[in-house]
Structure 1
Amino acid sequence: MELKVGCCGFPLSMKRYFEIFNVVEVQKTFYRPPEVKTAEKWRKSAPEGFEFTIKAWQVITHSPDSPTYKKAGIEFENCGFFRPTEVVFMAWEKTREIAEALKAKIIVFQTPKSFRDTVENMENMRSFFSSIEGGFTFCFEPRGWSEENVRRICEELDLIHVVDPFISKQLYGEMCYYRLHGFDYKHKYTDEELEKLLRMSRKGYVMFNNIHMLDDALRFKKLLKEKEG
């Protein structure tokens, strides 16, 4: 498997993005998933070899008091934190439908800092992932968990551990799925940092998610091409 480089969201028009990159992580699926027909239109407009990865809908992962709900203009109760509720499983069905429409193989579950590695939360994750159908590669980006519990839950549920490699090390997964947030969102990676990133990377995905993600991703793609000769 190759190392794919892309952005989290479209930093320029879809048409132009498709000409430059071969993968994108869709962000709209996290805030408020599009209609299936919209996702099908995106898939049809993309080149045959282009890959979509998606973020799972926040109704699965984030509690209703998260400011991201207000940003998305949605209101739900009794959801988030992988709770075994009808609302959470409805959100999974919507996420799954969009993934299938995009022919996405990878679904990223990003949790907030408030979702800690408690017994209850880990048990909810076990219940959730044992209840949904497979056919996808599931990736998990926790915040504030102990290394022991990250490794344990990822091994048990076969989740790819998602990291920013400048901040933490990947603890489980046959491939890498790196999400580069920058040391702060406005951070622009230096040439030296991108060279270090190349040394840290292996087969998988390097996805930039900072303000300068377009330029940083292009520069990293150039480094990767030079390395491959």
Structure 2
Amino acid sequence: MIRVGTCGFCEGKRKYFKDFDTVEIQQTFYRIMQERTLRRWKEEAPEGFTFSIKAFQGITHPPSSPTWRRSNVKPSRNVGLLKPTSEVFHYWRLTLKEAEVLGARFILIQLPRSFKENEESFSNAEKFFNSIERKDFEIAVELRGWSEKGIKEFVREFDVIDVTDPLVRIPLHKGKVRYYRLHGRYEEGKIIYNHSYSDEELKKLRERVLGWNIEESFVFFNNVAMCKDAKRFKSLLDLH
């Protein structure tokens, strides 16, 4: 089974719930959400719809990250990078609560490039994952700038889903669920979000997702043209 959606609602929710069967909530990364908003989204979604939420940036991003400019929280020096601090664990509990209210299946932990592939990061991750409660949520982790060897060790050690772009590399975990994020094209290590996928790229994406699929695959588009490209990709899957 392959489910296709976007990172954030790319159109009005009522229409989105008709066009797609999954979404990755982005607001939970930038802001602490009100429960009534999440509860309303859950009630509006059709039966069988799958929510994923992006973990709050206080867990992953240091106070120097520009993403904090959009937050309703002022960061302390002890936030981000999976540091085993009271602030990070507090934000994890808040994220966990939001996932419960929304009825989410996945929690995405997107780590910035400042989360380097080194001993300190592994130590932080070990203390973080050994301390947190996961409940029944599946944890997906996107590591940026890491080697395949480092990613493979990380996802195996902490039993998380390896989030990847199928046009870039194969997933490195052995679970029955695949979680893909497509941000656009890459130039010299930088992501160019202002990208519309060509027919050839989408056909290659279909070939890889179908070829690698074990049980379930979730494909989330996160480029500027995500709504259009996600619908085009869904059409390709329907024609297969």
Question: Normalised by the size of structure 2, how large is the TM-score?
Answer: 0.91
- The answer to whether the 8 Å contact 2:167/2:204 transfers is no
**Cα shift at 1:73:** 4.4
Q: Secondary structure at the match of 2:41?
A: helix
Preserved CA contact (<8 Å) 1:161 1:173? no
Counterparts of 2:82 and 2:234, CA distance in 1: 35
Equivalence for 1:172: 173
Alignment partners' CA distance in 2, 1:108 and 1:141: 8
Q: Any idea what SS the aligned residue of 1:162 has? A: strand
Give 1:220's match in structure 2, choosing from 217, 223, 233. 233
Which of the numbers 218, 235, 240 marks the counterpart of 1:205? 218
Return 5+ residue gaps in structure 2 as ranges: 186-191
Q: 1-side partners of 2:46 and 2:21: how far apart?
A: 9
Q: Secondary structure at the match of 1:42?
A: helix
Structure 1 stretches of at least 4 aligned residues deviating more than 4 Å after TM superposition: none
CA-to-partner distance for each residue in 1:73-131, whole Å, 9 max, x for gaps? Answer: 43111110111111101100110011001111111100111111111111111111111
Secondary structure of the structure 2 residue equivalent to 1:152: helix
Distance 2:28 2:70 in 1: 13
Query: What amino acid maps onto 2:88 in structure 1?
Result: V
Q: Which residue is 1:156 aligned to?
A: 157
Map 1:64-103 onto structure 2 (within 5 A). 64-77=63-76, 78-103=78-103
Letter in 2 for 1:58: Q
Residue range with higher mean Cα deviation, 171-180 or 108-117: 171-180
Verify the 8 A CA contact 1:140 1:162 in the aligned structure 2. yes
Report the Cα distance in structure 1 between the residues aligned to 2:22 and 2:15, rounded to whole angstroms. Answer: 13
Which residue does the alignment assign to 2:204? 196
Q: Report the equivalent of 1:5.
A: 4
The answer (yes or no) to whether the contact 1:39–1:98 under 8 Å persists in 2 is: yes
* Letter of the structure 1 residue corresponding to residue 206 of structure 2: L
Contact persistence 2:206–2:237 (CA under 8 A): yes
Partner residue of 2:148?
Answer: 147
Once the two structures are overlaid, the 10-residue window that deviates more, 126-135 or 57-66, is 126-135
Gaps of 5+ in 1: none
Aligned residues: 226
- TM-score normalised by structure 1 residue count: 0.96
Shift of 1:9: 0.4
Which amino acid counterpart does residue 171 of structure 1 have in structure 2? L
Percentage of matched positions with identical amino acids? 44
Amino acid paired to 2:146: W
The answer as to 2:127 corresponding to 1:117 is no
Structure 1 match to 2:24:
25
Confirm or deny: 8 A CA contact 2:5 2:20 kept in the other structure.
Answer: yes
Pairwise CA distance, 1:33: 2.7
